[in-house]
Amino acid sequence: MSKLWGGRFDKATDALLERFNASIGFDRRLYAADIAGSIAYAHALEKVGILTAEETRAMVDGLHAVLAEFDAGTFAFLPSDEDIHTAVERRLGELIGEAAGKLHTGRSRNDQVATDMRLYLLARIPVLREHLLGVQRAIVDKAEAHLNVITPGYTHMQPAQPILFSHWLMSFFWMLQRDLERLDDLTKRVAVMPLGGAALAGNTFGIDREALAVELGFDRISENSLDSIPDRDFVAEMLFWAALLQTHLSRLAEDLILYATAEFGFVELDDAYSTGSSIMPQKKNPDSLELVRGKTGRLVGNLVTLLTTLKGLPSSYDKDLQEDKEPLFDTLDTLELELPIVAGVIDTLRLNAEGMASALRDDLLATELADYLVRQGVPFRQGHHIVGQAVRLALAKGCGLRDLSVADYQTISSYFGDDVHDVLDFRRAIEQRSVPGGTATAAVKVQIEQAKVLWGGRTRKSAMLFS
Ligand code: ARG
């Protein structure tokens, strides 16, 4: 079978180059987008008189038949099918004859592939969005169901101040909320139609690009063919979006892996999300979370791959751009598999409130003592110093801050009164932080309510019914 572009060539393509050049192995998944684009384009050609009504009908019917073959998995690829665009056009010709040759009038694979990629993404983004919401819902459900659980909060991985476990959980909700907002924002830039730009300079037949955009579900048309044909910013944005989301998931995974160790003992992963060791019978490993952490290199790598491909490209289409596909597909596939797993891990996670309680060391309350002194009129810096001495005294005595007597405290500073032990209480320390965004129960409840408002007040179950 001769190539679409074979007219000016004397010799056959080198066999290795043929393989090197072909994208059909990975761009075949664009078939539905490619065919939708061609159906709309046939309508546009009819409107400008390139196709008769009869030819258009035959072409559209033929394209539907090709689509059905792909959907059924019966489409027979030929070695000559260089890419998805070639394969669809070749098959259309077999089904409807010579008239198929009119479909590509005024169109180039350059504007075609750019359009296909955008259509493909517009179809997959809602799926990713639902999966992301699923993780957020799992977080909020868990946070709401275990609002009373107190855990040490850390900075520098050193015990810092007590917090609600739900406050920790909700911190990831907000990271993912920004990811969700970023996804919605970038979708606006995906929904721009380059079709009609042809190879680089624009369509010669006066096709109605606005009507094409409406038919294909784009928000608007691109302004400059030279910009929009090679524009892969939308792919780069998608890959950055995914890399940052993955970074958030990786951090969540890291915390949970640590909290699930025997040494911490704060949480236990469900068996369904753990695996065993081939040699050590006692092992229950958090492989699910380790892979979540591990996929980060891959997703960041996909972003770097694309940016490196785009860097230094001269104006308009270059074949380098074919390298946009595998990183994008790999990232989308990874997240689609991964996000429901993350939701499942959180959903089934068992919290060990006692384990967390036994990790509540007295020095997590040192700030409470300093704040106590502030309320007695001591400048904070001075209070900080005084409490440092109390910490040293406790260390010297081999006891905790709560075990020091009022007399002990008063040897350090006369500002300490009989009521000093009242502030040495984990629950009290938490409830003191009722500022919006703080860890007090009421403040965390506000976060949970805010999260629900963001979903239009839907609870998890009703959200599933509606979706
Ligand atoms: N397979 C190509 C790609 O993915 C399609 C566009 C080819 N255009 C061309 N002028 N050779 O980028």
What confidence tier does 405 reach under pLDDT thresholds 50, 70, 90? very high
CATH number, residue 386: 1.10.40.30
Please give the mean pLDDT across all residues of the chain.
95
Distance CA 330, CA 185 (A): 22
Residue 455 has pLDDT above 80, yes or no: no
**135: in domain:** yes
Q: Is the pLDDT of residue 252 over 80?
A: yes
Measure Cα distances from 60 to 10, 55, 75 in Å. Answer: 34, 9, 17
Same domain, 54 and 133: no
* Region for 418 from its dihedrals, namely left if φ exceeds 0, alpha if ψ lies in -120 to 50, beta otherwise: alpha
Q: 181 and 289: one domain?
A: yes
**Domain contains 449:** no
Give me the residue label for tokens 């690009």: 209
- The CATH number for 85's domain is 1.10.275.10
Global pTM reads 0.94
Q: Please indicate whether residue 156 is annotated as part of the active site.
A: yes
- Do 348 and 397 reside in the same domain of the chain? no
Q: Same domain for 247 and 292?
A: yes
Residue 317 lies in a domain: yes
Residue at which a domain ends, from 314, 342, 358: 358
Q: Based on the residue annotation, tell me whether 277 is a catalytic residue of this protein.
A: yes
* 199 CA closest ligand 1 atom index: 10
Answer whether 132's CB lies under 8 Å from 176's CB. Answer: yes
Question: What CATH number corresponds to the domain at position 135?
Answer: 1.20.200.10
pLDDT greater than 60 at residue 422: yes
Pick the atom of ligand 1 nearest to 84's CA: 1
What's the structural domain count of the chain?
3
Which of 330, 358, 386 terminates a domain? The answer is: 358
Based on the fold, state whether residues 130 and 38 are members of the same structural domain. Answer: no
| Residues 376, 342 share a domain | no
Which residue out of 31, 109, 110, 232 has the highest number of ligand 1 atoms within 8 Å of its CB and is therefore the one to mutate? 109
Same domain, yes or no: 370 and 296? no
Per-residue pLDDT tens digits for 276-334: 888 888 888 999 999 999 999 999 999 999 999 999 999 999 999 999 999 999 999 99
3-class SS letters over the chain: CCCCCHHHCCCCCCHHHHHHHCCHHHHHHHHHHHHHHHHHHHHHHHHCCCCCHHHHHHHHHHHHHHHHHHHHCCCCCCCCCCCHHHHHHHHHHHHHHHHHHHCCCCCCHHHHHHHHHHHHHHHHHHHHHHHHHHHHHHHHHHHHHCCCCEEEEEECCEEEEEEEHHHHHHHHHHHHHHHHHHHHHHHHHHCEECCCCCCCCCCCCCCCHHHHHHHHCCCEECCCHHHHCCCCHHHHHHHHHHHHHHHHHHHHHHHHHHHCCCCCCCEECCHHHCECCCCCCCCCECHHHHHHHHHHHHHHHHHHHHHHHHCCCCCCCCHHHHHHHHHHHHHHHHHHHHHHHHHHHHHHCEECHHHHHHCCCHHHHHHHHHHHHHHCCCCHHHHHHHHHHHHHHHHHHCCCHHHCCHHHHHHHCCCCCHHHHHHCCHHHHHHCCCCCCCCCHHHHHHHHHHHHHHCCCCCHHHHHHHC
Residue 203 CA to ligand 1 center (angstroms) comes to: 18
Which of 64, 108, 156, 278 is catalytic? The answer is: 156
- Residue 454 identity: L
Please state the atom number of ligand 1 nearest to the C-alpha of residue 319. 12
C-alpha of residue 29 to centroid of ligand 1, in Å: 15
Q: Is residue 216 part of a domain?
A: no
How far is Cα 90 from Cα 179, in angstroms, rounded to an integer?
A: 41
**Are 302 and 243 in contact, with CB atoms under 8 Å apart?**
yes
Q: Which of 159, 247, 149 is nearest to 444 (CA)?
A: 149
Residues 249 and 192 in one domain: yes
CA 368/CA 232 separation, integer angstroms: 53
62 lies in the same domain as 36: yes
The alpha carbon of 65 and the centre of ligand 1 are apart by a number of angstroms equal to: 24
- Residues having CB within 6 Å of any atom of ligand 1: 23, 27, 83, 109-110, 113, 317, 319, 321-322
The confidence band for 456, taking pLDDT boundaries of 50, 70 and 90, is low
Residue span of the structural domain in which 390 resides? 362-432
Residue 192 maps to a domain: yes
Report the share of the chain in percent with pLDDT over 70.
97
- Read off the pLDDT of residues 203-216 as tens digits, 9 standing for 90 and up: 999 999 999 999 99
Q: How confident is the model at residue 462 (pLDDT cuts 50, 70, 90)?
A: very low
Asked if 317 and 247 sit in the same domain, the reply is yes
pLDDT tops 80 at residue 3:
no
Structural domain includes residue 245: yes
The ligand 1 atom at the shortest distance from the C-alpha of residue 317 is 10
Catalytic residue among 277, 405, 462, 467: 277
Ligand 1 centroid to Cα of residue 4, in Å, is: 12
| 188 plus 332 within the same structural domain | yes
Distance 50 CA to ligand 1 centre (A): 24
Q: Which residue, of 305, 330, 358, is where some domain finishes?
A: 358
| Residue whose CA lies nearest to ligand 1 atom number 2 | 322
Kindly state whether residue 159 falls inside one of the protein's structural domains: no
344 and 396 assigned to the same domain: no
Please state, in angstroms and as integers, the Cα–Cα distance from residue 106 to each residue in 113, 200, 440, following that order.
14, 11, 64
Task: Please state whether beta strands 158-164 and 192-193 pair in parallel, antiparallel, or not at all (unpaired).
Answer: unpaired
In a domain, 424, yes or no: yes
